[in-house]
Structure 1
Amino acid sequence: MSNTPNPTWTLSGFGDEIDPDPRIQAAVLLALGAKHIEVRSAWGTNVVELDDTQVSDLKSILDEAGMKVSAVASPLGKVDVSLPIEHEVIRLRRIIEVAKVLDTRYVRMFSFYRAAGQEPEEIRDAVMERLSQMAAVAEEANIILIHENEKDIYGDTPERVLDILETVNSPALRAAWDNANFVQVGVKPYTDGYAKLRPYLEYLQVKDAIAATGVVVPTGHGDGELVETITALKEDGYTGFASLEPHLSEQHDLGGFSGATAFGQAARAFRSTADAIGITLA
Structure 2
Amino acid sequence: MYLDIVTRNGTGDIKTHLHALENACQIAHALHCLTIRIFPFRWPDNRKGPFGTKEDMDRIIPNIKRAIEIAKSYQVTLVLENCPYSHLPKGEMTLQVVRALQSSYLKLLWDPANSYRAIPANVPKEYMHWNLKEELEHMAPYIGHIHIKDYRYDASSPKPFLHVPVGKGDIPYSDLLTSLCENGYTGSLSLEPEVDGKGSIECMRVLKKMVNNVS
TM-score, normalization: structure 1? 0.64
Structure number with higher strand proportion:
1
Please list the CA deviations of residues 94-148 of structure 1 after superposition, one character each: whole Å capped at 9, or x if unmatched: 1111111211111111101222225422422221121110011111211111111
Q: How many residues align?
A: 197
Change over 3 Å in CA distance of 1:276–1:118 after alignment to 2: closer
Q: Which residue of 2 aligns with 1:240?
A: 187
SS in structure 2 at match of 1:265: helix
Q: Which residue of 2 aligns with 1:58?
A: none
- Identity, in percent, stands at 22
Q: Which residue of 1 aligns with 2:93?
A: 160
Q: Distance in 2 between matches of 1:158 and 1:202?
A: 13
Instruction: Give the gaps of 5 or more residues in structure 2.
Output: 120-127, 155-159
Q: Which residue of 2 aligns with 1:111?
A: 40
Matches within 5 A, 1:69-88: 70-75=1-6, 79-80=9-10, 84-88=13-17
Q: Which residue of 2 aligns with 1:203?
A: 145
TM-score, normalization: structure 2? 0.82
Of residues 196, 199, 202, the one that matches 1:265 is 202
Matches within 5 A, 1:47-58: none
Change over 3 Å in CA distance of 1:211–1:74 after alignment to 2: farther
Relative contact order, CA 8 A, sep 6+: which one is greater?
1
Amino acid of the structure 2 residue aligned with 1:127 = I
Amino acid of the structure 2 residue aligned with 1:87 = T
Change over 3 Å in CA distance of 1:272–1:189 after alignment to 2: farther
Q: Which residue of 2 aligns with 1:184?
A: 117
- Between 1:146-155 and 1:121-130, the stretch displaced more is 121-130
SS in structure 2 at match of 1:72: coil
SS in structure 1 at match of 2:3: strand
SS in structure 1 at match of 2:37: strand
Q: Which residue of 2 aligns with 1:170?
A: 103
Matches within 5 A, 1:218-237: 218-237=165-184
Q: Which residue of 1 aligns with 2:70?
A: 137
Amino acid of the structure 2 residue aligned with 1:271 = K
* Structure 1 segments of 4+ aligned residues over 3 angstroms from their partners: 186-189
Matched, 1:215 2:162: yes
